[in-house]
């Protein structure tokens, strides 16, 4: 066993490992954010074989001001590192498995309503009203309306993840058959269909980007750079502010797609494939919300109740 390899040296090897596995840049950033915090917590660079389960447990227990979901991500990153270290014979034991993973909170899914979406679409072309000294309140037109409309419709119509939308390329968008190829977690490829209205919005936006290479990003910022999660979130938050909506975020579009897919007759198994989930666990949460709709509607429509039989 290579007991003299330090944690930092092991991390160099692990980075090569995840590059060879072609994990997504987002996963790599998540992992190494955890490793930076763990290294700072240790305050030194000990041999990886000398790190104990108590070190892992104390590190996780000392994290304050973060959600249980983020804490679970830390546990997942460290677990991936130790899985690799065991396989490489750098450590004798997978110590992270001796530390119980935190159980994240189950947050209530809050989809957008049709009125919310219409507000966003109808207000994205103009600024919020503002006043200048001695003049009446006014607004001005905003740029990139075609791009922003296409982004919102694609998010709503496909349930695409933020990272998948940011990584999408023009060559992945089949306008004739209205399909978008995306590469999800673990670089797994899947095909997302979109409707003609969404296709029309994407076509109208791409028409403003003439002579673009086919490997260019499907959506770009005002500076011509591909979006990342932060710039995409910033864009959507500003659209939400102009529409007077609080709590606008990327993942709510995914929830809205999923719930309406089931409400409108879609089946859970095809939804699982479209969302790129490895299990039906999350889909079951959407199904429970749809069942609540059915129960409420039955109370309104029951012939036995309505006829007072």
In DSSP notation, 34-66 reads: HHHHHHHHHTS--BGGG--HHHHHHHHHT--SS
What sign does the CA torsion over 40, 42, 46, 52 have?
negative
Domain ranges of the chain: 7-98, 114-128+136-299
For residues 120, 242, 112, 165, the Cα torsion angle rounded to the nearest 10 degrees is: 70
Which strand ranges, in their side-by-side order, compose the sheet holding 179-183? 173-174, 179-183, 189-193
pLDDT at 87 over 90: yes
Annotated active-site residue 308? The verdict is no
CATH 3.30.70.3040 fits domain 114-128+136-299: no
Annotated active-site residue 277? The verdict is yes
Share of the chain above pLDDT 70, in %: 87
Annotated active-site residue 26? The verdict is no
Residues ≥6 apart with Cβ < 8 Å to 189:
181, 182, 183
Catalytic residue selected from 26, 37, 169, 185 = 185
CB pairs under 8 A, 24+ apart, for 212-218? 212/170, 213/170, 214/169, 214/170, 214/171, 215/169, 215/170, 215/171, 216/169, 216/170, 217/166, 217/168, 217/169, 217/170, 218/165, 218/168, 218/169, 218/170, 218/172, 218/173, 218/180
Q: Which of 16-30, 63-77, 116-130, 189-203 shows the highest mean pLDDT? A: 189-203
Task: Choose among 64, 63, 74: nearest CA to 33.
Answer: 74
Q: Which residues is 192 bridged to in the sheet?
A: 180
- Rounded CA gap, 160 and 182, in Å? 8
Residues ≥6 apart with Cβ < 8 Å to 202:
150, 153, 154, 173, 175, 194, 218
**Kind and range of the H or E element at 193?**
strand 189-193
**CATH architecture, range 7-98:** Orthogonal Bundle (1.10)
Higher pLDDT, 59 or 125: 59
Model confidence, pTM: 0.68
Higher pLDDT, 277 or 304: 277
36-45 pLDDT tens trace = 999 999 998 9
Q: In the chain, what is the straight-line distance between the N-terminal and C-terminal CA atoms, in Å?
A: 79
Summarize the confidence of residues 184-207 as an average pLDDT.
90
- DSSP assignment letter at 272: H
3-state secondary structure (DSSP) of residue 181: strand
6 confidence band (pLDDT: 50, 70, 90): very high
Lowest mean pLDDT among 41-50, 75-84, 123-132, 210-219: 123-132
What pLDDT does residue 150 have?
96
For residues 167, 171, 172, 176, the Cα torsion angle rounded to the nearest 10 degrees is: 140
277 confidence band (pLDDT: 50, 70, 90): confident
pLDDT at 62 over 60: yes
Catalytic residue selected from 169, 251, 263, 285 = 251
pLDDT at 1 over 60: no
Task: Choose among 177, 2, 24, 191: nearest CA to 85.
Answer: 2
Catalytic residue selected from 97, 263, 277, 285 = 277
212 confidence band (pLDDT: 50, 70, 90): confident
297 confidence band (pLDDT: 50, 70, 90): low
99-126 pLDDT tens trace = 998 886 666 668 899 999 999 999 887 7
Annotated active-site residue 92? The verdict is no
- Rounded CA gap, 164 and 228, in Å? 10
Catalytic residue selected from 74, 254, 255, 261 = 254
What pLDDT does residue 306 have?
65
Annotated active-site residue 185? The verdict is yes
What pLDDT does residue 70 have?
87
Phi, psi of 200 (to 5 degrees): -65, -40
Pure H helices in 186-308: 196-206, 229-243, 250-263, 268-275, 281-301, 303-306
What pLDDT does residue 42 have?
94
69 confidence band (pLDDT: 50, 70, 90): confident
Catalytic residue selected from 149, 161, 172, 242 = 161
Annotated active-site residue 21? The verdict is no
pLDDT at 238 over 70: yes
Lowest mean pLDDT among 52-56, 187-191, 301-305: 301-305
Q: Which residues is 226 bridged to in the sheet?
A: 220
Share of the chain above pLDDT 90, in %: 54
Phi, psi of 169 (to 5 degrees): -120, 155
């Amino acid at each position: 066993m290579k007991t003299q390899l330090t944690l930092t040296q092991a991390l160099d090897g692990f980075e090569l490992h995840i590059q060879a596995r072609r994990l997504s840049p987002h996963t790599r950033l998540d992992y190494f954010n955890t490793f930076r915090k763990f290294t700072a917590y240790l305050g030194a660079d000990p041999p990886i074989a000398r790190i104990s389960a108590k070190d892992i447990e104390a590190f996780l227990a000392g994290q304050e001001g973060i959600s249980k979901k983020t804490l679970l991500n830390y546990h997942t990153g460290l677990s991936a590192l130790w899985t690799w270290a065991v396989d490489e014979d750098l450590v004798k034991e997978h110590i992270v498995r001796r530390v119980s993973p935190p159980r994240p909170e189950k947050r209530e899914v809050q989809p957008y309503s049709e009125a919310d979406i219409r507000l966003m679409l109808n207000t994205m072309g103009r600024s919020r009203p503002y006043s200048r000294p001695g003049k009446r309140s006014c607004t001005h037109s905003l740029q990139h309306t075609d791009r922003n409309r296409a982004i919102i419709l694609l998010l709503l119509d496909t349930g695409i993840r933020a990272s998948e939308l940011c990584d999408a390329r023009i060559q992945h968008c089949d306008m004739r058959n209205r399909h978008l190829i995306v590469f999800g977690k673990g670089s797994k490829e899947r095909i997302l269909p979109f409707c003609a209205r969404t296709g029309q919005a994407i076509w109208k936006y791409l028409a403003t980007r003439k002579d673009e290479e086919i490997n260019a990003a499907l959506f770009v910022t005002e500076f011509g750079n591909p979006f990342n999660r932060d710039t995409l979130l910033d864009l959507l938050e500003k659209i939400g502010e102009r529409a007077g909506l609080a709590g606008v975020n990327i993942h709510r579009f995914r929830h809205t797609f999923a719930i309406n897919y089931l409400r409108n007759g879609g089946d859970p198994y095809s939804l699982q494939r479209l969302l790129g989930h490895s299990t039906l666990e999350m889909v079951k949460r959407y199904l429970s919300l749809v069942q609540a709709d059915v129960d409420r509607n039955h109370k309104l429509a029951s012939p036995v109740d309505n006829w007072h039989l």
